[in-house]
Structure 1
Amino acid sequence: MDRDEGLIRFLRERTGECLRGVGRYDADGYEVLYVRPGLERETLDSEVERMVTHLRSESRPREVRSFPYGDLDGTVRSFEEAVVMHFPLTQERGVVVTLEPDVARQLTTFMRECIERL
């Protein structure tokens, strides 16, 4: 089993139907590795392309210079309709995982409670 299959199997075991999609990118482009049945592939492709364009700028060296906490492991973005996890592997390679918000219920609830107080 290769790494991509192992990652997808792990994510499906841990998150079940909450896994929306998984993609990998490098300097030359991106590849959608998994799409949950029922999601429109064309919609996901356009979403991934926009996300990858944005996330490429999130390189480890730049983030490490900006935050004094050691190496960047990844980022988590919480939206109403999805949670996006980004794992920058090198300056030009990374993995993007999209999940249903319920996967991070404690985090998203906590964030919404903070927002209510802002």
Structure 2
Amino acid sequence: MIREIAKELLSYSRETLGPDLRAVTRYNRDEHEPIYTREDVPEQIELDEDARSMFRHPLVRMQSAAQELSQYHPYLDELDASIYSYGTVTVVQFPITDEDGIIVTLECEGDLSDGFVSRCKSIVSGAD
């Protein structure tokens, strides 16, 4: 199911973002699976075991923290997406379950409009 949602997000992201799309990745608590990686973007970074353990679950932890925050602030409702902006890359995380989700990575200059995020959220929620 998550792989199919990721492929649909990939199709929409390619159409909308064009060459600004860097990658679409499915993840869970234990692993990640690249669904698409732009040709000039390294697909995997080799890390030793210590580095892997340090970076293994950062997005799952961030997602859990955001969901915990929403328990104390009921007006926040459910977590639908998180956006992280770095120097050269923007990362949009769409949680699907407590441990699974999809990440769309794009160039910082990419068109990350409300419409893009809203449409992705509707694809993830199955409202499409």
TM-score by length of 1: 0.72
Give the secondary-structure state (helix, strand or coil) at the position aligned to 1:65.
Answer: helix
- 1:87/1:63 CA distance change after superposition, 3 Å: farther
Q: Tell me by how many angstroms 1:14 deviates.
A: 0.3
Q: Tell me by how many angstroms 1:66 deviates.
A: 4.6
What CA RMSD, in Å, does the superposition of the two structures yield over aligned residues?
Answer: 2.7
Between 1 and 2, higher relative CO (CA 8 Å, sep ≥ 6) is seen in 2
> Which string of whole-angstrom CA distances, capped at 9 and with x for unpartnered residues, describes residues 46-74 of structure 1?
6xx77662111112631422543111111
> Which string of whole-angstrom CA distances, capped at 9 and with x for unpartnered residues, describes residues 24-67 of structure 1?
11233211111001122234x76xx7766211111263142254
State whether structure 2 residue 64 is matched by structure 1 residue 62. no
Partners of 2:112 and 2:94 in 1: CA distance: 20
User: Does the aligned pair in 2 maintain the 1:21–1:35 contact within 8 Å?
Assistant: yes
Q: Tell me by how many angstroms 1:94 deviates.
A: 1.0
Which of 7, 10, 17 is the aligned partner of 2:9? 7
- 1:84/1:51 CA distance change after superposition, 3 Å: farther
Which residue is equivalent to 2:40?
A: 38
What pairs up with 1:1-118 in 2 under 5 angstroms? 2-43=4-45, 53-57=57-61, 58-59=63-64, 61-67=67-73, 68-104=75-111
> Which string of whole-angstrom CA distances, capped at 9 and with x for unpartnered residues, describes residues 58-98 of structure 1?
12631422543111111111111000101111111111111
Q: How many residues align?
A: 103
Q: Tell me by how many angstroms 1:105 deviates.
A: 7.0
Partners of 1:96 and 1:40 in 2: CA distance: 16
Which residue is equivalent to 1:114?
A: none
Partners of 2:82 and 2:33 in 1: CA distance: 20
Which residue is equivalent to 1:116?
A: none
User: Does the aligned pair in 2 maintain the 1:83–1:104 contact within 8 Å?
Assistant: no
Give the gaps of 5 or more residues in structure 2. 115-128
TM-score by length of 2: 0.67
